[in-house]
A = this chain, B = another copy of it.
Amino acid sequence: MYQQITAHVQRDIHLNTAEIEEFHSLLVEEKVSSKDFLLEPGKDVLYEYYVVQGCLKAYYLDKKGNKHILQFAIEDWWISDFEAFFKNEPASLHIEAIEDSYLLGIKKEILEPLYERIPKFERFFRIKTTNAFVALRSRILSSLQKDAKQRYLDFCITYPSIEKRVPNYHIANYLGITPESLSRIRKSL
């Protein structure tokens, strides 16, 4: 159960047995059934979550009621309303399970002292954030320079495991197009 997240963390930093123990003791288990919410707008964002098993989406609902998927998460990914988490604001995102999911959460107020005690964890999360930042950069570039068909093909190459797992209308939403358009794009391939 915990060896998965341990291996995940140790890809970026090295921990001794005591540090691993300590880390595990800070994690909270969470289960969410498909179509249930891990987070909803207005709630305090106390945790960020590591996905042990399952599949989720984080989306924003605008004033017109339109959904906009910001992120998917499957095994080995982290998910939260990061903006709210970091700024200590109430959530503005929905995080909803697409499949029954099993998560490990770490609380913000526990993270800060952990950084102090074991700076390697500050490094770990800096590296994770940096990678996420870089991924967003290329998503921006993609949306600036490519048409819908190219973006879809890029998505399939970058996230093949997600493409196989979530319904097309979710992917369309993530790409910023309608399900009808995606259908026509797929037909043209």
- Please list the residues of chain A having a beta carbon within 8 angstroms of any beta carbon in chain B: 60, 62, 66, 68, 70, 82-83, 86-87, 115, 119, 122-123, 125-126, 129-134, 136-141, 143-145, 176
A84 to B136, CA, bound (A): 14
CB-defined contacts of A86 to chain B, threshold 8 Å: 130-131, 134
Instruction: Check if A82 sits within 8 Å of B137, measured CB to CB.
Output: yes
Instruction: Looking at the assembled complex, report how far the CB atom of A70 sits from the nearest CB atom of chain B, in whole angstroms.
Output: 7
Instruction: Check if B139 sits within 8 Å of A140, measured CB to CB.
Output: yes
> Taking chain A's interface residues, is the majority helix, strand, or loop, or is none over half, making it mixed?
helix
A66 to B145, CA, bound (A): 8
CB-defined contacts of A119 to chain B, threshold 8 Å: 119, 122
Instruction: Looking at the assembled complex, report how far the CB atom of A81 sits from the nearest CB atom of chain B, in whole angstroms.
Output: 10
CB-defined contacts of A134 to chain B, threshold 8 Å: 82-83, 86-87
A141 to B140, CA, bound (A): 10
Instruction: Looking at the assembled complex, report how far the CB atom of A158 sits from the nearest CB atom of chain B, in whole angstroms.
Output: 14
Specify how many copies of this chain sit in the oligomer.
Answer: 2
Instruction: Check if A68 sits within 8 Å of B144, measured CB to CB.
Output: yes
CB-defined contacts of A140 to chain B, threshold 8 Å: 70, 136, 139-140, 143
CB-based nearest B residue for A143: B143
A60 to B137, CA, bound (A): 11
A164 to B47, CA, bound (A): 39
CB-defined contacts of A60 to chain B, threshold 8 Å: 141, 145
Task: A66-B145, A126-B129 given; name 8 further pairs at CB < 8 Å.
Answer: A68-B144, A68-B145, A82-B133, A82-B134, A115-B123, A119-B122, A129-B129, A136-B137
CB-based nearest B residue for A68: B144
Instruction: Looking at the assembled complex, report how far the CB atom of A29 sits from the nearest CB atom of chain B, in whole angstroms.
Output: 26
CB-defined contacts of A145 to chain B, threshold 8 Å: 60, 62, 66, 68
14 sample A-B contacts, Cβ–Cβ < 8 Å, listed by A number: A66-B145, A68-B141, A68-B144, A68-B145, A70-B140, A82-B133, A82-B134, A83-B134, A86-B130, A87-B134, A122-B123, A129-B133, A136-B140, A143-B143
